[in-house]
Amino acid sequence: MTEIRSHKNHGEGRTCVITRRACFSASHYYSLPELSADDNALLFGNCSIAPGHGHNYELIVSMAGELNKDGMVLNLSEVKHAIKEEVTSKLDFRCLNETWPEFDMSKSTSYLPTTEALARSIWERLKDHLPIVCLKLYEQQNLWAEYIGDDMDAYLTIQKHFAAAHRLAREELSPNENDDIYGKCARPHGHGHNYLVDITVKGSINKRTGMICDLSKLQEIVENLVIEPFDHTFLNKDIPYFANCVPTAENIALHISDLLVEPINSLGASLHKIRLQESPNNAAEIYIEKTDIKSTK
């Protein structure tokens, strides 16, 4: 008689986070009916012009759960169907202002379809269908929002670029000692990078504008305090802070965070994180708020 044994997946009962990507194209515009056309233009710039402008949105849905006997958290076909049924079929090739009730600006309780507000609205449509733990919504490659179900709080990230040179060396050390610590990066004439810097801010979504903070002012602050001063410089010689501080990716990210904390606070948001990518293989992240990240030895 053949013995029949039940199969148990190696990871069954263990928690796992999976992601599903979905895309849709939609247009939107920012205009508050209680303001004049001139005031809307002053507040939102070209984004206030109807019938609006469009984006190719990319949505990343993160879901958590235990592995079942089939080695899955969820059936991906069912995940795909839920996202399509609840979100993309409703938004694809539409004007966001004319889709969901919360974007109907004729109602005093509605808000504009900004990236962060749209992420929150998508969460509300999916939370009863999928065990979501995070939504990331890209409006552009260099602008995205994250929402984790925390009432009206959300995260907004802008990505900027600058090119700069640096040399990693401590003046009090000998050439051999610097070479032992920093390797090629200690060579006397330095070397350059095309840096990418992600600035992530956290705040409450305004219940009328749909914004965490004024995006154009955020862009202006970063441009004036970081990009313009840093771009096409030799950091060790052209940026006073690095005259006595080795411009590693970590120290550059830390200095950028110090430059931006107070100006971003003045916008009504808080700086959450700076991520500086030095090369495709090397990046540093500085969290301004306390995190649960612990060093391991």
Say how many C-beta atoms besides its own lie within 10 A of residue 138's C-beta: 20
AA identity, residue 272 = H
> Read out DSSP for 100-145?
SGGG-TTSTT-----HHHHHHHHHHHHTTTS-EEEEEEEEETTEEE
Based on the residue annotation, tell me whether 23 is a catalytic residue of this protein.
Answer: no
Handedness of CA 227, 231, 237, 242 (dihedral sign): positive
Cβ-based burial of 255 (10 A; exposed 0-12, middle 13-18, buried ≥19): buried
- Active-site entry in 102, 116, 139, 278: 278
What is the spatial distance between Cα 123 and Cα 227, in angstroms, rounded to a whole number? 34
38 CB-near residues (< 8 Å, 6+ apart) = none
- Residue pointed to by tokens 């080695």: 71
Looking only at Cα atoms, what is the longest distance across the chain? 85
DSSP code, position 242: G
Is residue 179 within 8 Å of residue 198, measured between CB atoms? no
Angle between helices 249-265 and 215-222 (to 10 degrees): 140
- Active-site entry in 95, 185, 245, 285: 185
Handedness of CA 151, 259, 167, 180 (dihedral sign): negative
Based on the residue annotation, tell me whether 232 is a catalytic residue of this protein.
Answer: yes
Q: Please list the active-site residues.
A: 185, 232, 278
